[in-house]
């Protein structure tokens, strides 16, 4: 199984489609984020899904349960294999999203990888990030989510809990790559060794001089992990 999900966080649908076509034989799937979802619209999912790879709609839904259920159903209808919701929306909202996705494909966003401990204090969360991610993941599992999204720093702890969740990990930065706006990061090999099921990687691949060669290098590094 190829565990690389490429984040197509590109400014136009044309650019995203070209990149996806180049990489479709090298990666396990694609992520469509808010930039394309709010610019092009959900048709971006349908377009990329025609390449035959699973599409991760990173909508980060967070609203009342009825609205989230309907939004998740719309995204599923366009071809989304996975849809993200904020776990902080609560049990009923997560369950509504699961219903909208016909029982499968909901990923709970625990804590954004751009956040650090100080950020949690500012929004009134007194727990450490790692503890909050565990709490959120338990709630996601109890609410029927298929998986969670967390930083590489929390993957090992979640794997030990054996909650039956697939773990999707952004914040992946190969050696020498800049962190950009990510705070909690790791190399592909480190994330794989910790137990991440899928590695969500954007700019290190899409901004590379040769995205195909870079994707192959990252896949090889993951494959070398015992």
Q: What is the mean pLDDT of residues 25-30?
A: 98
pTM: 0.93
- Mean pLDDT score of the chain: 93
Out of 31, 53, 60, 91, the active site residue is 60
The residue behind tokens 């070209």 is 18
Look up residue 80 and give its DSSP letter.
-
Read off the pLDDT of residues 134-147 as tens digits, 9 standing for 90 and up. Answer: 999 999 999 999 99
Residues facing residue 183 across a β-bridge: none
CA distance 23 to 44: 16
**Is 91 among the residues known to form the active site?**
no
Q: What is the pLDDT of residue 176?
A: 53
- CB 203 within 8 Å of CB 180: yes
- Domains and their CATH numbers in the chain: 4-223 (3.20.20.70)
CA distance 203 to 9: 8
Residue 208 token pair: 């590379």
CB count within 10 Å of CB 134 equals 20
Read off the pLDDT of residues 76-120 as tens digits, 9 standing for 90 and up. Answer: 999 999 999 999 999 999 999 999 999 999 999 999 888 888 888
């Amino acid at each position: 199984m190829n565990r690389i999900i490429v984040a197509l966080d590109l400014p136009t649908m044309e650019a995203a489609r070209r990149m996806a076509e180049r990489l479709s034989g090298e990666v396990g799937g694609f992520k469509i984020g808010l930039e394309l979802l709010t610019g092009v619209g959900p048709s971006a999912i349908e377009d990329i899904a025609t390449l035959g790879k699973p599409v991760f709609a990173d909508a980060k839904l967070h609203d009342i349960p009825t609205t989230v259920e309907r939004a998740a159903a719309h995204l599923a209808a366009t071809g989304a294999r996975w849809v993200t919701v904020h776990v902080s929306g609560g049990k009923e909202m997560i369950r509504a999203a699961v219903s909208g996705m016909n029982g499968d494909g909901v990923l709970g966003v625990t804590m954004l990888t751009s956040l650090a401990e100080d950020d949690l204090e500012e929004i009134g969360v007194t727990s450490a990030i790692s503890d909050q991610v565990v709490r959120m993941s338990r709630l996601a599992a109890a609410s029927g989510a298929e998986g969670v999204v967390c930083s590489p720093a929390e993957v090992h702890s979640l794997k030990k809990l054996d909650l039956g969740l697939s773990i999707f990990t952004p914040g992946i930065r190969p050696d020498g790559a800049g962190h950009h706006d990510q705070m909690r990061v790791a190399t592909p090999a480190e994330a794989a060794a910790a137990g991440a099921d899928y590695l969500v990687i954007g700019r290190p691949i899409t901004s590379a001089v040769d995205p195909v060669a870079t994707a192959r290098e990252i896949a090889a590094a993951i494959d070398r992990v015992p």
